[in-house]
C-alpha cells in the first residue's frame, strides 16, 4: 500500500467534480447566514450528521445537499468564492488539473445572467491558478503548473422550483411535452456555452448531460450534442450510473461522447432491459471492446457510486477492477468532494485497498486523466503539459520506490 502522503504528492487530475457538490461546509454555513437561508444544522458537525453523510439510504437523500448548496450560489461573489476554494482544495492534495462541471441554468435569474455566472466561476478558478503558478517551484520548472477547464452540464430532467431559469422554460413552453422542453434547455445551454466561450475567452471546453437516466434517454438531447459537436466542444455524458449498458451505448453513439461519467453498469448484463438483445454477454463484450478501441475514458467515482447505488454496498464489488483488467481507459474522480466527503487521494487509497489497484495500474490511470482531459490549450500545449506530468511522476518514482511497478513492500520488523 502506498502511504497517504506519497499519494498526495502525485500529480493528479479530477475530470468529474461538480461545483455545487463541492462547496466547503464552512462556506455554505457562512453564505446561508448572509443570504438568510435556513439549513438543517448550524455547524459543520451538524451538517455532517444531517445532510453530508458518509452513507446515504437513497439517491434522493444523497441529492438533498445540492438543494442547499445551489441555494447559496446565486450571486457572482458566491460562485467566484466557491470556484476559488474548490481549486485551492484540489491544489492542496496534489491535483494539478481539474475540470469543474456545473449547470449554469441553476444559477441564472433576473439579477444574474448566464454570462456572469460563467465569468464568475472562471474568475475564481483563474485567481487560484495564477496564485499557484506564481510559486517558485512552478516558475523554476521543478513542479508542473495547475490548469483547469469548465464543463457545462445540461439536465435530462428539471422541475419547478429548481431555478428561475427552468421555471421560465416550463412556463413559456407549458403546452409542450416536458421531454422536449428539457431538450430545448440543453440546446440553449450548448449555444450559450459556445457564444460565451468565444466572446469572453473563458475555457469552456466540455458539454455534459446529468440527471435521471430511466425515462429520460440521452437521445432526447441529440440536437444539443450535435451543436456542441459542430463547434468543437468536447463531450461527456453521465451514463451507466443508474441504468444499464444501453444508456452507455446511446451516449457514445447518439451523443458522440468522448468520455463517460461513471459507467458503473457497463459490465452488468443483469441491467440490460432491451428484449431485442438476446446474447447479453456478447453485447457487453462488444460494447466494452468498442469503448476500449476508441479510448473513450470512463470517469470513475467510487465513493459516490457506493452512496447512490444500493447494489454496491461492498466496494470490492465495484466494476472498476473489471474495467482495469480489460485495459479500458479509466481515471479516478471525486464527483462531489463535499457531498461524498472525499478527495482524489482518498479515492485512490480506496481503489488500492479494496480493488487491488497496483502501482503500474495507478500510474496508467493517472496519466489517462491528463491525456484524455478536455485541456483548454492547443494540442502541442497539451502534449507539453502531459510530458511535464509524466516527468514529475517519474521523479517521484525515483524518490519513492513503492510507486514503481512490481515493487514488493518490505515486511515490517
So which residues are the catalytic ones? Answer: 241
Sort 377 into a burial class: Cβ within 10 Å, 0-12 / 13-18 / 19+: middle
The gap from C-alpha 75 to its chain's centroid, in whole angstroms, comes to: 23
Q: How far apart are CA 234 and CA 248, in angstroms?
A: 17
Owner of C-alpha cell 463547434 = 231
Q: Decide: 355 and 321 in contact? Cβ < 8 Å.
A: yes
Contacting residues for 22 by C-beta, under 8 A, at least 6 apart: 82, 86, 89, 334, 336, 337, 338, 339
Question: Which is nearest to 149 in space by CA: 302, 333, 17, 9?
Answer: 17
Helix (H, G, I), strand (E, B) or coil at 213: coil
C-alpha cell at 64: 438533498
Other C-beta atoms closer than 10 Å to the C-beta of 41 total 15
Contacting residues for 289 by C-beta, under 8 A, at least 6 apart: none
Amino acid at each position: 500500500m502506498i502511504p497517504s502522503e506519497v499519494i498526495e504528492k502525485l500529480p493528479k487530475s479530477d475530470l468529474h467534480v461538480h461545483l455545487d457538490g463541492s462547496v466547503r461546509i464552512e462556506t455554505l454555513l457562512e453564505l446561508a447566514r448572509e443570504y438568510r437561508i435556513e439549513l438543517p444544522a448550524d455547524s459543520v458537525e451538524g451538517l455532517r450528521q444531517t445532510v453530508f453523510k458518509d452513507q446515504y439510504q437513497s439517491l434522493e437523500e444523497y441529492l438533498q445537499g445540492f438543494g442547499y448548496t445551489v441555494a447559496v450560489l446565486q450571486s457572482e461573489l458566491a460562485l467566484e468564492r466557491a470556484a476559488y476554494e474548490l481549486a485551492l482544495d484540489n491544489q492542496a492534495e496534489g491535483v494539478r488539473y481539474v475540470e469543474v462541471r456545473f449547470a449554469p441554468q441553476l444559477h441564472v435569474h433576473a439579477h444574474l445572467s448566464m454570462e456572469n455566472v460563467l465569468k464568475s466561476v472562471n474568475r475564481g478558478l483563474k485567481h487560484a491558478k495564477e496564485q499557484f503558478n506564481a510559486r517558485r517551484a512552478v516558475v523554476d520548472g521543478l513542479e508542473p503548473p495547475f490548469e483547469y477547464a469548465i464543463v457545462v452540464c445540461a439536465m435530462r430532467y428539471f422541475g419547478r422550483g429548481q431555478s428561475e431559469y427552468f421555471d421560465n422554460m416550463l412556463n413559456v413552453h407549458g403546452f409542450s411535452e416536458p421531454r422536449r422542453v428539457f431538450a430545448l434547455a440543453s440546446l440553449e445551454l450548448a449555444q450559450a456555452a459556445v457564444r460565451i466561450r468565444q466572446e469572453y475567452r473563458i475555457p469552456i471546453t466540455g458539454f455534459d448531460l446529468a440527471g435521471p437516466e430511466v425515462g429520460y434517454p440521452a437521445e432526447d438531447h441529440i440536437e444539443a450534442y450535435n451543436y456542441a459537436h459542430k463547434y468543437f466542444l468536447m463531450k461527456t455524458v453521465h451514463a451507466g450510473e443508474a441504468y444499464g449498458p444501453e444508456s452507455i451505448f446511446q451516449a457514445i453513439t447518439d451523443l458522440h461522447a468522448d468520455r463517460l461519467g461513471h459507467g458503473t453498469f457497463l459490465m452488468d448484463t443483469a441491467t440490460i432491459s432491451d428484449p431485442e438483445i438476446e446474447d447479453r454477454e456478447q453485447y457487453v463484450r462488444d460494447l466494452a471492446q468498442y469503448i476500449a478501441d476508441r479510448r473513450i475514458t470512463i470517469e470513475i467515482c467510487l465513493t459516490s457510486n457506493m452512496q447512490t447505488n444500493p447494489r454496491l454496498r461492498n466496494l470490492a464489488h465495484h466494476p472498476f477492477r473489471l474495467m482495469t483488467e480489460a485495459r479500458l481507459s479509466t481515471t479516478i474522480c471525486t464527483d462531489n468532494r463535499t457531498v461524498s466527503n472525499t478527495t482524489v487521494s482518498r479515492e485512490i487509497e480506496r481503489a488500492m485497498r479494496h480493488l487491488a489497484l497496483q502501482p503500474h495500474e495507478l500510474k496508467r490511470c493517472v496519466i489517462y486523466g491528463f491525456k484524455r482531459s478536455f485541456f483548454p490549450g492547443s494540442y502541442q500545449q497539451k502534449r507539453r503539459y502531459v510530458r511535464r506530468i509524466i516527468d514529475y511522476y517519474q521523479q517521484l518514482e525515483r524518490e519513492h520506490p513503492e510507486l514503481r511497478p512490481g515493487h514488493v513492500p518490505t515486511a515490517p520488523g
